[in-house]
Structure 1
Amino acid sequence: MGRKIAIMGAGAVGAYCGAHMVREGEDVTFIDAWPEHVEKMRQGLHITGTTPEEEFTVPVRALHLNEVQQLSKEAPIDIAFVCPKSYDTAWSTMMIAQYLAPGGFVVSLQNCMNEETIAGVVGWGKTLGCIASQISVELYEPAHVHRGVKKGGAAHTVFRVGEVHGRITDRAREVCRLVAYGDSAKVTDNLWGERWSKLVANCMQNGLSACTGMSGNEMVKTDAIRHFSARLGSEAIRIGQALGYALEDILHIDPEVLARAGEGDAEATKAVDAQRLAEAGKRAGGQRPSMGQDMVKGRRTEIEFLNGFVVRKGAEVGLQARANATLTDLVKKVERGELKADPKHITELRLN
């Protein structure tokens, strides 16, 4: 207790985690670029979920970007959670870095692999990572975050906190304690493997939702899209293996089984289909992955930091990622207004 915490980019994940910290008595300052969201948070940050017990409203301290300079007159920040979209990582880190305590550090609580970008600003010694796995939160309106899946609890560890060097440290345990207010958490010695595994899961879902307009369940229940999703995952898995990452289960599926399914293995495909359809039956029907939400809201997507990132890393190790490259191109066309979101972009796709 007593540490000063900043949430830089109070979107769905940042606001959700920070609200739980505040409710438990932690000293948290929320910083965000959306003026209406900041003003509403000052009246109370509202959290809802799949059960009545998850609903609460907590008053929080929230700052507009132009008010961050107030921090120079206060005790410095001990832990800064950087939580914006990946394309805003560098400037967000730079903004909060000048207010860090001498022993302060930055935690990437984001999709994608942004630790290197953060380290480019504050150094590797002040950089940690935290993966939020299958959290399914959405900022429905200013100061209202809804979680569309039940809490992971013992069945699924949602938060995985790790040092870039893989050692278990006191500060990693401290971050784990903080995020555990929101759901199950652990400290991992495999940050990079955890990161790439989460990246694979995102690559299988986010861009597909953005270019088709479909919810997560709708995509899983459509054979052609589910199988294309497996191909996306397979390419990313093979590239992650070539990069030397020790991959964890992806969507509760062994990565090797998922990779073989994407490569056309009938037995693996049957196993993956059964698992994914079973999982879809447990989720609320209309929840879109985050990039699908961004497309509906007219926001810039993270496609170049997900599927596009896989393509670029594949080129480094001499592996093609044709499905990921195709999806990246489709999402960018929808984002620019050249195409409308439509399942036909995938169901009618012919890709050797």
Structure 2
Amino acid sequence: MNVAVVGAGAVGCYYGFVLAKAGHTVTLIGRPALVAAVGSDGLVLDSAAGTASVPVRATTEGNGVAGADLVLVCVKSGDTEAAGAMIAPHLDPSATILSLQNGVDNAERLSAVLGRPVVPVAVYVATAMAGAGRVRHNGRGDLILGASEASEGFAAAFAAAGIPTTVSARALDALWGKLILNCAYNALSALTQLPYGRLVQGEGVVASMADVVRECVAVAGAAGVTVQPDIFDGVMALSETMADQRSSTAQDLARGRPSEIDHLNGYVVRKGAALGIPTPANRMLHTLVKLAERRG
């Protein structure tokens, strides 16, 4: 299988590594530093099993998707339209495009740019870049693919590569569940620069997270989305299964980069306003992260 990864950050590099290790041909599309590092040392993964490297192709150009059977779009939510425009002229007509992005509307937005279906994917993995062309895996790695004609086949290929994967016609519900997890953790982890396990030990943190989750569940319900009734138990479980993970938003702020907060807590605030649902806890977190971004 020929796989292209658009937006080769921590998530894209992790899945690119696993698929390349399983024998698939992988092309990463990312920054020049990544291209140089991968060309020199291959794509490197640090994990509990040790350190390993695999050879992959890498480029900064959108034509890296040419000939790909499968395209994994892993760019930040704010870059969705730009990434779509970059790759659109080079996509094979038979290629399947998966959106492995935070937020709930990226597949829809990307599909509008490309003029073809995009499969939404809920991603559950703890990763971080340890340097150019080097990704650290901290836990999990499972996927929920939206239903499409090709989804079952790709799910089987992922599973064979060691990526636990299921296919669901309710992928949007799963994406909302992931959004709620992100709304509970990302901003607080970013503002404190604490990993999840230490974060929840702070005074008032669990109660604040409960406020955030209640607002998200109310907005989801008003939008016709089904959320698991024990969603908060799942939120709290993350502080154990990913105790050492700092959020992607925390990593962005630490590097002085714009975060995806507009598509996480900010999305809930906007959706809540449209549906008449108050979201003061989410609004405060969104506001504080935006201020931290301005500080640089």
Structure 1 length normalisation: TM-score? 0.78
Distance 1:103 1:201, change over 3 A: same
Is 1:187–2:167 an aligned residue pair? yes
Is 1:140–2:155 an aligned residue pair? no
Q: Matches of residues 212-291 of structure 1 in structure 2 within 5 Å?
A: 212-248=192-228, 254-255=230-231, 258=232, 272=233, 276=236, 280-285=239-244, 287-291=245-249
- Structure 2 counterpart of 1:10: 8
| Counterpart AA for 1:306 | L
Q: What CA distance in whole angstroms lies between the structure 1 residues aligned with 2:27 and 2:64?
A: 11
Deviations, residues 66-109 of structure 1 (Å, cap 9, x unaligned) = xx4476xxx63332111011111111112112111222232101
Displacement of 1:195:
0.7
> Which of 260, 264, 272 is 1:302 aligned to?
260
Q: What CA distance in whole angstroms lies between the structure 1 residues aligned with 2:15 and 2:126?
A: 13
Q: What CA distance in whole angstroms lies between the structure 2 residues aligned with 1:231 and 1:175?
A: 38
Matched residue of 1:316: which SS? helix
> Which of 76, 82, 99 is 2:73 aligned to?
82
- Structure 1 counterpart of 2:112: 120
Q: What CA distance in whole angstroms lies between the structure 2 residues aligned with 1:179 and 1:226?
A: 35
Q: What CA distance in whole angstroms lies between the structure 2 residues aligned with 1:122 and 1:80?
A: 13
Q: Matches of residues 151-162 of structure 1 in structure 2 within 5 Å?
A: 151=140, 158-162=142-146
Q: What CA distance in whole angstroms lies between the structure 2 residues aligned with 1:93 and 1:218?
A: 38
- Structure 2 counterpart of 1:37: 34
Matched residue of 2:257: which SS? coil
Q: What CA RMSD, in Å, does the superposition of the two structures yield over aligned residues?
A: 2.1
Deviations, residues 123-175 of structure 1 (Å, cap 9, x unaligned) = 3x421011112x110111111111112x46xxxxx210003xxxxx4411133
- Structure 2 counterpart of 1:173: 152
- Structure 2 counterpart of 1:63: 59
Matched residue of 2:94: which SS? strand
- Tell whether the 8 Å contact from 1:193 to 1:246 is kept in structure 2 after alignment: yes
Displacement of 1:247:
2.0
**Greater Rg by CA:** 1
Q: What CA distance in whole angstroms lies between the structure 1 residues aligned with 2:157 and 2:130?
A: 24
- Structure 1 counterpart of 2:83: 92
- Structure 1 counterpart of 2:190: 210
| Counterpart AA for 1:93 | G
- Tell whether the 8 Å contact from 2:158 to 2:165 is kept in structure 1 after alignment: yes
Is 1:108–2:105 an aligned residue pair? no
Displacement of 1:182:
4.5
Q: Identity of counterpart residues, as a percentage?
A: 32
Matched residue of 2:150: which SS? helix
- Tell whether the 8 Å contact from 1:80 to 1:105 is kept in structure 2 after alignment: yes
Deviations, residues 184-207 of structure 1 (Å, cap 9, x unaligned) = 111111011011110000000011
- Tell whether the 8 Å contact from 1:161 to 1:175 is kept in structure 2 after alignment: no
Q: What CA distance in whole angstroms lies between the structure 1 residues aligned with 2:87 and 2:114?
A: 10
Is 1:325–2:283 an aligned residue pair? yes
Q: What CA distance in whole angstroms lies between the structure 2 residues aligned with 1:76 and 1:183?
A: 23
Distance 1:237 1:105, change over 3 A: same
- Tell whether the 8 Å contact from 2:196 to 2:243 is kept in structure 1 after alignment: no
Displacement of 1:279:
5.2
Deviations, residues 197-232 of structure 1 (Å, cap 9, x unaligned) = 100000000111112222211211113112111211
- Tell whether the 8 Å contact from 1:17 to 1:182 is kept in structure 2 after alignment: no
Matched residue of 1:203: which SS? helix
Structure 2 length normalisation: TM-score? 0.92
- Tell whether the 8 Å contact from 1:21 to 1:179 is kept in structure 2 after alignment: yes
- Tell whether the 8 Å contact from 2:74 to 2:101 is kept in structure 1 after alignment: yes
| Counterpart AA for 2:114 | V
Distance 1:248 1:40, change over 3 A: farther
- Tell whether the 8 Å contact from 1:78 to 1:100 is kept in structure 2 after alignment: no
Displacement of 1:282:
4.8
Distance 1:179 1:289, change over 3 A: farther
Where do 5+ consecutive residues of structure 1 fail to align? 153-157, 164-168, 259-271, 339-352
- Tell whether the 8 Å contact from 1:77 to 1:99 is kept in structure 2 after alignment: no
